[in-house]
Copies of this chain bind each other. A is one copy, B any other.
Amino acid sequence: MSETTIPYKIYLNEHEMPAQWYNVRADMKNKPAPLLNPGTMQPMTLEELSGVFCSELAKQELDDTTAFIDIPAEILKFYKMYRPSPLVRAYCLEEKLQTPAKIYYKFEGNNTSGSHKLNSAIAQAYYAKKQGLKGVTTETGAGQWGTALSMACAYFDLDCKVYMVKVSYEQKPFRREVMRTYGASVTPSPSETTEVGRKILAEYPGTTGSLGCAISEAVEAAVGSEGYRYVLGSVLNQVLLHQSIIGLETKAALDKYNITPDIIIGCAGGGSNLGGLISPFMGEKLRGEKDYRIIAVEPASCPSFTRGRYAYDFCDTGKVCPLAKMYTLGSGFIPSANHAGGLRYHGMSSVLSQLYDDGLMEARSVEQTSVFEAAVQFARTEGILPAPESSHAIRAAIDEAMKCKETGEEKTIVFGLTGTGYFDMVAYEKYNNGEMSDYIPTDEELQPGFDSLPKMN
């Protein structure tokens, strides 16, 4: 098919849409390490997991052999409301950069929640509803996940309790109101509503909270309430499974026009978007059918892949959650206040950690002023105002495209544009005013985080 027939945006027709999720673990020779019970340090059983997660989700969490899992009809129906998301050829950006590279991005911000998080939120809400639960609890930091889950719970008429990191609760009142508009209750964390919250407040009276602390509260609230379970928007195997819809659509759209990417790029915080985007491509790579360069991009100020350790670690501050083996900076790591965007979780998906450890993907870290520079350039040429998180991938895509300009190579670059930056204008303002700076932690500054790792490692 000739170049000129490739539209700006490749949309799939409804009959071309994936009807199954792809579970990349099935094709991994080295499986990701299992979650461990923090009490016994033994692998979590289905029964144990089912006390925290919905039963079907617990099953998905443990299943590392089934390659394709049917997407339930009700989830497919919801997906139709905002999917397929467009795969966009960045013609304008290419022209601006004067690069021979061909750049595509999978845009996941075209739903009201504003990010890819909705793909897993609706799945988790569905299974909760199917199990006859009253509601779910969760935590949110910047608010993308909480927003997505609120939307999903409204759709299925489920109660939704969100523990929002206190500093975000206060600084991002609009995010909070979006969640409330969708019917969720939003509690600033740490709060007096949980034992772990009260304990943390007693110990650190002025604390503005953290993601790890909000996770602890949300888990306690779920386990302690009849008819509730806890849900999480990243890191977990089940989340990557649901997010595989991103990669499957991307691959179907590329295949439709006989396009083979050379490089696939995604930002990486807990790994939900990156894992979803690369899944089917990684599957081909694992099965020896094709090869791709796959690049994870993370903030220099929270460098779990590039400077973290591959070790078992706590997922939350209160240490009530199972332990996961992952690239981690330690649950005691706290990103610098200088850091403006998301992608601030101390660890990384076990699936991605194993793939990275096996040399199947690369990782790089980028500094935030260069990230916002890329974001503004992208906004002005492609018209989409990207989330700071997504802009890490833009930065790397532009860098790769500029390398092509030097070498004259016509590489095809695909990156994940996970969401929009409407609720991140405080950070943009800082950048626009020239008040944003960079920060790379020293080895000494990373040490306390590593010291917090459990002794078993």
Q: How far is the CA of A202 from the CA of B158 in the complex (A)?
A: 56
Q: Mark A residues whose CB is within 8 Å of B.
A: 7-9, 11, 14, 80-82, 88, 92, 110-114, 151, 154-155, 173-174, 177-178, 180-183, 376, 379-385, 420, 422-423, 425-426, 428-429, 432
A426-B178 Cα distance, complex, nearest whole Å: 10
Q: A383–B173 contact, CB under 8 A?
A: no
Asked if B7 and A80 make an inter-chain contact with CB atoms under 8 angstroms apart, the answer reads yes
Most buried by B among A14, A151, A178, A181: A181
By a CB distance below 8 angstroms, the chain B residues around A432 are 177, 180-181
28 contacts between A and B (CB under 8 A): A7-B80, A8-B80, A9-B80, A81-B92, A81-B382, A111-B383, A112-B383, A112-B385, A114-B422, A151-B379, A154-B379, A154-B380, A155-B380, A173-B425, A174-B422, A174-B426, A178-B385, A178-B422, A178-B425, A178-B428, A180-B428, A180-B429, A180-B432, A181-B379, A181-B385, A181-B425, A182-B380, A422-B423
Cβ–Cβ contact B7 & A151, under 8 A: no
Q: Cα distance A173–B155 when bound, in Å?
A: 32
Which of B88, B174, B384 is A425 in contact with, Cβ under 8 Å? B174
| A81 CA to B382 CA, complexed, in Å | 8
A11 and B11 in contact, given A180-B432, A380-B182 (Cβ under 8 angstroms): yes
Does B422 lie within 8 Å of A383, measured CB to CB? Answer: no
Instruction: List chain B residues, Cβ under 8 A from A382.
Output: 81
Interface contact A8-B181, CB-CB below 8 Å: no
What 11 additional pairs, Cβ within 8 angstroms, besides A112-B385, A180-B432? Answer: A8-B80, A8-B81, A9-B81, A81-B383, A174-B422, A180-B428, A181-B425, A182-B379, A182-B380, A183-B380, A422-B422
Complex Cα spacing A61 to B151, Å: 43
Complex interface: chain B residues within 8 A of A111 (CB): 383-384
Q: Kindly report which residue of chain B lies nearest to residue A122, judged by CB atoms.
A: B383
Q: Which residues of B contact A376 (CB under 8 A)?
A: 181
Nearest CB in chain B: distance from A90 CB, A: 10
- In the bound complex, do residue B8 and residue A428 qualify as a contact, i.e. CB atoms below 8 Å apart? no
Contacts of A423 in B (CB 8 A): 174, 422
Q: In the complex, how many angstroms separate the beta carbon of A140 from the nearest chain B beta carbon?
A: 16
Q: Enumerate the 6 nearest inter-chain pairs by beta-carbon distance, A residue then B residue, closest first.
A: A174-B425, A154-B380, A177-B425, A8-B80, A422-B422, A177-B429
Contact A181 B428 (CB under 8 A): yes
